[in-house]
Amino acid sequence: MAKGIVLASGSIHRKELLKNAGIDFTVEPCELDERAVEAPLLESGVSPEDVASILAEAKATDVSERHPGEIVIGADQTLSLDDEIFYKPANMEEARRTLLKLSGRTHTLNSAVVLVEDGVVTWRHVATAAITLRQLDPGFIGRYLAAAGQKATTSVGAYQIEKEGIQLMEKIEGDYFTIIGLPLLPLLKELRQRGEIDG
């Protein structure tokens, strides 16, 4: 008999991806202070990929404590440019500064997903995507942010490729799901192999 599946994320995008894939699941966002978990990692020089993986694990482990016998999906995404890790902009001014920094350069999105059962990680995967933004005129950035509105502060790069953000792009290497923040194909494969979803 298939186990219950719980998504330990409040992300509308991750929820939508699983729902659209036909997965039966419940949602319980974790209550962790992600920045507090992350601070010692950054000081010790952990890679952006590992930061995403460790945060995904922390989220899923936290929620797993309240869901014995169920499979908890944890996910996290970091954006890195050279050695700098970016976060969701707190406001529109931060979004503008993020886009100015990313303009004309190639950044990496690191999307991690883990499965945790009864507090134990049973599977993990990190996928990366490389995105090159066009050389952006500051005036255009202002107009883009005005059109995008507060949605620009809901993603780490201040863009959504499925919306106006696609106009910022020059080149994309990597799959759509990794960019949205959930490596869906490897996750579905793992759930099929376990017999948790029809395969």
- Strand bridging mode 71-81 / 5-7: parallel
- Residue 32 structure tokens: 């962790």
CA–CA gap between residue 151 and residue 157 (Å, rounded): 11
Q: Which of 110, 118, 112, 108 is nearest to 55 (CA)?
A: 112
- Token representation of residue 196: 């948790």
Q: Which of 50, 62, 76, 137 is catalytic?
A: 76
Give the H/E segment covering residue 116: strand 106-117
Name beta bridge partners: 125.
113
DSSP symbol at 9: -
Indicate if 76 belongs to the active site: yes
Q: Which residues are catalytic?
A: 76
